[in-house]
């Protein structure tokens, strides 16, 4: 059982997830993660607009499971009445997450096809949910993620999923372009970048969510 101070490496976490998936479907783990992200997105949005129905929320969606978590969280927030836009950073997105999001009435914009439009949505957002990359991400951000992150307004709340994109999970360095989060919703255990300076300064408040991954 992980505690609020437990730090695990990427390899340890991936192995724990592998074992857990032998008995628990990945979809269940992702739905639990999305619930935790949606809760923080709801809290941050309501703090700025007082009503979720007035909130403009933008998801920065990468091609992997972090992007899927963002889409599933966005689907919940859209069903609850928020105006949610998913900006696709890559050429594809998590299939189930995208289906859930569009089914909930969310708007999808491709940064590759309409960067100016995508940047405009980011600039207007009350809350931005960072689902660009996660546990396996390399340091730094590359276009179009670089332009999208640069467009985040100073008054927007930023919620990072698992870790701020641009940081490396197993490193305390923060010398490449990265997301500055107000809140980071991380799963199962802390990562080094969330627990050690200087990287941890970019994570904001770290919320540790138990999604059911079994820790030995």
pLDDT digits (tens, 9 = 90+) for 168-193: 999 999 999 999 999 999 999 999 99
Could you read off the pLDDT of 38-97 as tens digits, one per residue? Answer: 999 999 999 999 999 999 999 999 999 999 999 999 999 999 999 999 999 999 999 999
In a domain, 171, yes or no: no
* Residue 18 domain flag: no
* 49 located within any domain: yes
- Residue 173 CA to residue 209 CA, distance in Å, equals 24
Q: How many domains does the chain have?
A: 1
pLDDT confidence bin for 136, thresholds 50/70/90 = confident
Whole-model pTM above 0.85? Answer: yes
The residue segments making up the domain with residue 71 are 23-164+176-183
Per-residue pLDDT, 1: 44
Average pLDDT over residues 90-112: 97
Residue 216: pLDDT band with limits 50, 70, 90: confident
Mean of all residue pLDDT scores within the chain: 96
């Amino acid at each position: 059982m992980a505690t609020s101070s437990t730090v695990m490496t990427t390899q340890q976490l991936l192995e724990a997830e592998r074992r857990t998936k032998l008995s628990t479907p990945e979809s269940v783990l992702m739905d639990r993660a999305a619930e935790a992200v949606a809760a923080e997105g709801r809290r941050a949005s309501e703090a700025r607009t007082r009503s979720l129905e007035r909130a403009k929320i933008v998801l920065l969606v990468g091609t992997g499971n972090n992007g899927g978590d963002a889409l599933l969280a966005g689907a919940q927030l859209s069903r609850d009445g928020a105006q949610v836009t998913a900006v696709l950073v890559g050429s594809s997105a998590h299939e189930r997450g995208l289906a859930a999001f569009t089914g909930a009435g969310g708007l999808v914009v491709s940064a590759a096809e309409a960067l100016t439009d995508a940047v405009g949505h980011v600039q207007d957002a009350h809350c931005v949910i960072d689902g660009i990359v996660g546990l396996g991400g390399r340091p730094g951000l590359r276009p179009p993620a670089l332009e999208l992150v640069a467009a985040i307004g100073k008054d927007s709340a930023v919620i990072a999923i698992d870790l701020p994109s641009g940081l490396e999970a197993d490193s305390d360095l923060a010398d490449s372009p990265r997301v500055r989060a107000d809140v980071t919703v991380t799963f199962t255990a802390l990562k080094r970048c969330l627990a050690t300076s200087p990287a941890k300064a970019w994570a904001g408040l770290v919320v540790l969510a138990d999604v059911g991954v079994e820790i030995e």
